Amino acid sequence: MSAVETSVVETVGPLVARPSAPLPARRTALRKFGALPTPSLEWNAEVERDTAHLYERVKTVVPSIEWPFFAPYVRAINAVKKERNAVILAHNYQTPEIYHCVADFVGDSLQLAREATKVKADVIVQAGVHFMAETAKILNPDKTVLIPDVRAGCSLASAITGEDVRLLRERFPGVPVVTYVNTSAVVKAESDITCTSSNALQVVESLGVDKVIFVPDQYLAKYVASQTKVKIIAWKGSCEVHERFTGDELAMIRANDPSVQIVAHPECPPDVIAASDFTGSTAHMIDYVRKHRPKRVVLVTECSMADNVQAELPDVQFTRPCNLCPHMKRITLPKILDSLLHMKEEVVVDPATTEKARRAVERMIYLKS
């Protein structure tokens, strides 16, 4: 069981008011690439034949009655992707028909950020939330980056502004700022280095200092503080999906089935982490299940991840609870197709912010493991 000792030295809250809406999308991509006609979205024998190999991947989690709705979109998206020379980056919280049937690269934020540095395509479609699309844009300023629904935000990203980070630096002069990637480009630009839940501890310790400012997730900060001697000044942000889990509900599940494995994300509160058998980023959670093949497991995170791993490992039984992320769920097959056909919504980050934010993200990506 993971023990959690809270050694965060200070947690500070919002210092200024914060409207943190994404930058308004512009229509330059449409002018550059032009619109494509909407392909047929009819379900017929040809579509069934062309998508049969993809249905094989998801048949344990997508009922056959739903496939005639998804399949025409899957076929159309895969065809339009080629025509646009586009790739789709999909986060582990995307639904199985996106994750297994149209994505070119899947993973957690760190894996997607790394893939974004290697992309050869002209267009990147981010099947995830806005800060992820911004990260892809920061790493590929010359490529067109699209997000199928610009309203796909994140409670962590909207918990802090660039102005907050500047005020934190004034209050704690000389203390470096480690910023979780779940933040806007503007916040990254004010930071020394970014981190993900995969590498947060490594990043904090890489700085060789005895104190860091860690924003914006208070629970990830507590988790990191429990594993290091570095003093952490945390911020009062949280993930609205992971903070809803409780240690009590996990204790009840374990009481009903002592053999169940409980695997939690470090954005969860400390009592949830204390009640779990393993804590790690979404990529590490998936690796844990692949390696240990538990008979029954609870993935204490967003619901679609269990579906995506279930499709790959049908012999493992995934037990609820899980919570849906309303922002991730804004991304759907119809919106991805619309995004590719009409080149929307284009993600725009101004050059000065891109330059500064890229330094913080690349410092993380190229950190020696």
**Site residues (vs ligand SF4, CB under 6 A):** 129, 154-156, 182, 239-241, 302, 325, 327-328
Please name the residue ranges forming H helices in the chain: 28-33, 45-58, 67-84, 96-99, 109-118, 130-139, 162-171, 185-189, 200-206, 218-225, 247-256, 270-274, 282-292, 303-312, 333-342, 351-365
In the complex, minimum distance from the CB of residue 235 to ligand SF4, in angstroms, rounded to a whole number: 14
In the complex, minimum distance from the CB of residue 268 to ligand SF4, in angstroms, rounded to a whole number: 11
Residue 129 or 204: the one with the smaller Cβ distance to ligand SF4 is 129
Question: Which residue's structure tokens are 């690349």?
Answer: 362
Residue 92 or 353: the one with the smaller Cβ distance to ligand SF4 is 92
In the complex, minimum distance from the CB of residue 110 to ligand SF4, in angstroms, rounded to a whole number: 13
Phi, psi of 297 (to 5 degrees): -145, 145
Closest CA to 169 of 124, 204, 215, 130: 215
Residue 204 or 241: the one with the smaller Cβ distance to ligand SF4 is 241
- The β-bridge partners of 107 are 91
Residue 81 or 327: the one with the smaller Cβ distance to ligand SF4 is 327
Residue 233 or 331: the one with the smaller Cβ distance to ligand SF4 is 331
- The β-bridge partners of 232 are 8, 212
Cα-Cα-Cα-Cα dihedral sign, residues 111, 117, 118, 120 = positive
In the complex, minimum distance from the CB of residue 129 to ligand SF4, in angstroms, rounded to a whole number: 5
For the chain, percent helix, then strand, then coil, each to nearest 5?
Answer: 45, 15, 40
In the complex, minimum distance from the CB of residue 153 to ligand SF4, in angstroms, rounded to a whole number: 8
C-beta separation of 167 from 16 below 8 A: yes
In the complex, minimum distance from the CB of residue 216 to ligand SF4, in angstroms, rounded to a whole number: 10
In the complex, minimum distance from the CB of residue 83 to ligand SF4, in angstroms, rounded to a whole number: 30
Q: Is 203 helix (H, G, I), strand (E, B) or coil?
A: helix
C-beta separation of 282 from 94 below 8 A: no
In the complex, minimum distance from the CB of residue 64 to ligand SF4, in angstroms, rounded to a whole number: 29
Residue 75 or 91: the one with the smaller Cβ distance to ligand SF4 is 91
In the complex, minimum distance from the CB of residue 88 to ligand SF4, in angstroms, rounded to a whole number: 17
In this structure, what token pair is assigned to residue 233? 């000044």
C-beta separation of 97 from 333 below 8 A: yes
Residue 27 or 151: the one with the smaller Cβ distance to ligand SF4 is 151
Residue 192 or 302: the one with the smaller Cβ distance to ligand SF4 is 302
Report strand pairing: 105-107 vs 86-91.
Answer: parallel
Residue 182 or 339: the one with the smaller Cβ distance to ligand SF4 is 182
> What is the Cα–Cα distance from 285 to 305, expressed in whole angstroms?
10
